[in-house]
Amino acid sequence: MGFTILGTGSALPKRSVSNDELSEFLDTSDEWIFTRTGIKSRHVCTTESLDDLAVAASERALQVSGIDASQLDLIVCSTTTGDHLVPAEACAVAERLGATCPAFDVSAACAGFVFALDVAEGYIARGRAKRVLIIAAEQMTRALDWTDRATCVLFGDGAGAAVIEAGGDSPLAVELSTASDVETLRVPGLVGTSPFKASVDSESVLSMNGRRVFKFGVNAICDTVHKLASDAGISVEDIDHFVFHQANERILSQAVKRLGVPGERVVRTLRETGNISSACIPFALDRLARTNALNAGDTIALVGFGAGLDIGGYLLRWK
């Protein structure tokens, strides 16, 4: 049994921080950042909590879908930067929406939304759920070293959501994998204060091997798109829209060049949002939907890649 996307939603913090603002306390410039990343600004939480963003994106997706929270059978949220380790971010959303269905989180870094979508599809396939709310919400700015110009300029905060319902053609193909590598991109966990264990980790801030991520990202996009098309029995040229993880414009440009697809078919939100981790894909999908760029029957390739190194690909049919 397949599913149909009924509606999407997204939310960003009100505060937008430009590259020029970052250059006031970092040894950098708008030109340096933009030419290397394609980012001009990013949204940063100030008065908002991540719960606020996740709820706002969810409410918009429900409104578009014409579904009340009481009709949901499941809520799955992708996050690695939740407001609380426990309970799950999904539980906080459920409480504020007034939903009583099962709610839990998944963690697959920047590929998380695609993994969450696959979890939801599994519930539908087993007859355990008919309507599912899938969320990706990230406050990456809380996990950054704001003295490191190589990493802190890349990320922002935001959330995206989608409501899916049993019945439909999606997915046409699915590709999930892990190129096991923990050190390339990581954020150490809680250090704690146990008197019985000496901590070996530093504070919980992100570290990244940029060159390794670039090579991995381009290969992940290209290999996954080819596998999705092959499994669906279509050519890459037959895919109408490409929604890739928004890590870096250089990664996107190189992948587009290798795939040989028209650049206008690839959604780009990076310029105004930066990398919002697993929220990139649902945010970009919502951007497509809100700009009326999607037509019934269109095929959409979603490809997420991130720490782990996790890769998630979904080929959808828009209805």
Q: Name the packing angle between helices 50-65 and 280-290 (round to 10°).
A: 40
- Choose the catalytic residue: 77, 110, 222, 280: 110
Determine which one of 43, 45, 91, 245 is catalytic.
245
Residue 237 structure tokens? 């040229």
Query: Using CA atoms in the order 314, 180, 253, 117, what is the torsion angle rounded to 10 degrees?
Result: 20
3-state secondary structure 287-298: HHHHCCCCCCCC
Nearest to 171 by CA among 318, 8, 6, 9: 318
110 is catalytic: yes
Measured CA to CA, the distance from residue 58 to residue 48 in angstroms comes to 15
Catalytic residue among 77, 101, 248, 275: 275
What length is written for the chain? 319
H/E segment holding residue 300? strand 299-306
Write b or e for each residue in 47-83: b if 16 or more Cβ atoms lie within 10 A of its Cβ, otherwise e: ebbbbbbbbbbbbbbbebbebebebbbbbbbbbbbbb
Token couple for 59: 């409410």
The helix (H) or strand (E) run that includes residue 306 is strand 299-306
Active site residues per annotation: 110, 245, 275
